[in-house]
Amino acid sequence: MTAQAAEQRELAVVIGLEVHVQLETATKIFCGCSTRADEDEAPNTRTCPTCLGLPGALPVLNEGAVEAAVKIGKALSAEIPEQTTFHRKNYYYPDLPKNFQLTQYDAPICADGSLEISVEGTRRSIGITRAHLEEDPGSLQHKGGSIDTADYTLVNYNRAGTPLVEIVTEPDFRSPAETRAFLAKLEEVLAYLGVFDATRDGSLRVDANISLVDAEAVAEDGSISDEALESANRTEVKNISSHKGAEKALAYEVTRQKNAIQRGRVIEQETRHWDETRGITVSMRSKEAEKDYRYFREADLPPLEVSDWKAKIPIPELPDARRDRFASEYGLDGESASKLTSTKAVADFFEDVAESFDPDLAATWVADNLLGELNYRDMEVTDISDRLEEFTTLISLVDADEVTVKNAEEIVLRSMLDEGDDPETIIDREGLGKADDDAIGAFVTEAIEENPDAVEDYHNGEDGALNFLVGQVMQKSRGSADPGTVNALLQDELA
C-alpha cells in the first residue's frame, strides 16, 4: 500500500485484555503460607517447601481460592465447567522457584461470561472468554542498574504462590476509554464480592492486546470478522497496573500504531512494555512462543469438579442491581443512585446513613457534599473509612438544626477533611453552634445601633437597607444565625 493510500484508511481500534487479579484469601493457593504482606516485612519470611519449590513438596489447592474463582465466575455470568484441571507452564526465570508456574490451560474454572459497562451513557457488554486460577511468581530486584544493565538479582519468594485469577476478555473494546471503564467496573464487582482489595500494591495487573483494523471491517453491532482480526498485526502491552494506566498506555499505543500505518509501515507483532514514568511503550525482547511453554497436566493436583458450587455459594448484590434498588427504594434519581453505588464503601455508608435520616438528606450529604469534597482533595471514601461515624454525627447535627447547612458544608466538613478534627470540636472552636434567639437579638440591637444611616434608609423605604442589616447581623453571628429569623427580628425591632 502506498503511504497516500494508507493515510486515507479509516481505522478502528480493537483491544482485548488479560487482567490478573490478586485474590483476598488468608493463605497462598497451594500451601498454608500467609498472603498478608506487611509493608515493611523482611524478604523470604512467608515461605515453605511448597512455595519454594523444594524437592518432594506437594501442592494442595486452597478451597478459599476456588470459592473466590467461582464467585467471580458467577458475577461475570460465566459457566463453571463440569471439570477443571491444572497445568504446568514451563519457563526459566528466577521469580519461579520451580521453573514452572502452576496455572490452568485448556480447562479453566470459568468460561464464556460477560460484564456490562457504561461509557459516556452507552451501555456495552464485554465478552469474557475465560478466567482461570494460577499462582503468582516471586519478586525480583535488579541491583546496580536497570533490568538490562543490573549487576545481579535479588529474589524474594514472599509473593510466590499468592492466588491470582486471570480474566481474559474477548477483543470487544473499541477505545482505550472503554478499557478503563471496564477495569473500574471489574474492580468494583470484585470488591463487592469481597475477593479483592484494590488498595493492595500490585493487586491488579493488566496486559492488553491491541490492533488497528479497517473501520469498514467493523459491523453495525460492533463485531469484527475473524479475518479482519487475523490480518491485523497486534501488539501485546504489558506492565499496566491500574485502570488509569490502561487508558494512557493504550491511547499511546493507538497513536503509535496509527502513525506507523500512516507512514506506510507494517505494525510489528511484538510484546511491548508500558513505561509508566515516561508514558510510552517500548519493545521487549521477544519471549517464548506458546509451544515453548510446554504446558502439561500437573499430576500432583487432581481435577476439580465444582460446577455445583455455583448454585451453593451465594454472592452479594452487585453494583448494577444495587443502583436499581437505590433508585426505587430511596426514590433517588439515576445520577445520585449511580454516584452512591460507585464503590461498595460509599454505598454501604449511604445505607447506614439513610437508615437514621431522611434518604434525600442522606443522598445530598453523601453523594454531593462528602464525595464532592473528597473528590476535590483527590481522596477516596476508603481514606476516611475509620471516620465515617464522625460524618454521621455531622449529618445528625445538621438534621437537629445544631449547625446551619452552610456552615456544616463550607466550614465543618472541609475542616474535618483538611485538619482531621471531629465535627463537635470544630463547631466549638469556630463558635458555629447555631446561635439561639437571645444571642441573635443582641446582634440585631448592635447592628441597629452601629448603622444609623441604614436604619434611616430603611425607614425611607430603600429596598437594600434591610438586606444590608441582615448581612451585618449574619456577620456578627459568623453565619450561625438563620437568615429568616434575623430578617423577622430586624423588622420587629425597626417597626
Partner 1 sequence: MSDSPVDADAVRHVADLARVNLDEEDVETFTEQFGDILSYFDALDEVPSIDREAELVNVMRPDEVTDGLSQDEALQNATETEDGFFKGPNVS
- Residue numbers at the binding site for partner 1 (CB under 8 A): 25-27, 31-34, 42-49, 51-52, 54, 60-66, 83, 90-94, 140-142, 147-148, 150-157, 285, 288, 292, 301-306
The rounded distance, in Å, linking the Cα atoms of 342 and 225 is 35
Minimum CB separation of residue 383 from partner 1 in Å reads 29
Minimum CB separation of residue 146 from partner 1 in Å reads 9
Instruction: Answer positive or negative: Cα dihedral of 470, 476, 482, 488.
Output: negative
CB nearer partner 1, residue 7 or residue 305: 305
Backbone angles phi, psi at 256, to 5 degrees: -60, -45
CA angle (60, 64, 65) in 5-degree steps: 75
Adjacent-strand bridge partners of 168: 18, 130
CA angle (256, 201, 154) in 5-degree steps: 90
Q: Are 104 and 97 in contact (CB under 8 A)?
A: no
Minimum CB separation of residue 118 from partner 1 in Å reads 34
Q: Are 14 and 210 in contact (CB under 8 A)?
A: yes
The rounded distance, in Å, linking the Cα atoms of 444 and 459 is 16
Give the residue among 169, 162, 237 at the shortest CA–CA distance from 197: 162
Adjacent-strand bridge partners of 122: 119
CA angle (19, 283, 20) in 5-degree steps: 10
CB nearer partner 1, residue 155 or residue 327: 155
**CA atoms within 13 Å, Cβ hemisphere of 55:** 0
The rounded distance, in Å, linking the Cα atoms of 88 and 456 is 93
CB nearer partner 1, residue 288 or residue 428: 288
The rounded distance, in Å, linking the Cα atoms of 173 and 211 is 11
What one-character DSSP code corresponds to residue 21?
Answer: E
Question: Terminal CA-to-CA distance of the chain, rounded, Å?
Answer: 90
CB nearer partner 1, residue 163 or residue 359: 163
In order of 28, 106, 173, 221, 226, the CA distances from 218 in angstroms are 43, 29, 12, 8, 11
Minimum CB separation of residue 47 from partner 1 in Å reads 5
Minimum CB separation of residue 253 from partner 1 in Å reads 22
409 CB-contact burial (10 Å; exposed 0-12 / middle 13-18 / buried 19+) = buried
The rounded distance, in Å, linking the Cα atoms of 304 and 322 is 33
CB nearer partner 1, residue 28 or residue 323: 28
Minimum CB separation of residue 202 from partner 1 in Å reads 18
CB nearer partner 1, residue 54 or residue 282: 54
CB nearer partner 1, residue 83 or residue 259: 83
Minimum CB separation of residue 26 from partner 1 in Å reads 5
Give the residue among 122, 138, 214 at the shortest CA–CA distance from 177: 122
CB nearer partner 1, residue 292 or residue 446: 292
Q: Are 46 and 33 in contact (CB under 8 A)?
A: yes
Minimum CB separation of residue 298 from partner 1 in Å reads 12
CB nearer partner 1, residue 293 or residue 443: 293
Minimum CB separation of residue 154 from partner 1 in Å reads 4
Minimum CB separation of residue 158 from partner 1 in Å reads 10
Minimum CB separation of residue 44 from partner 1 in Å reads 5
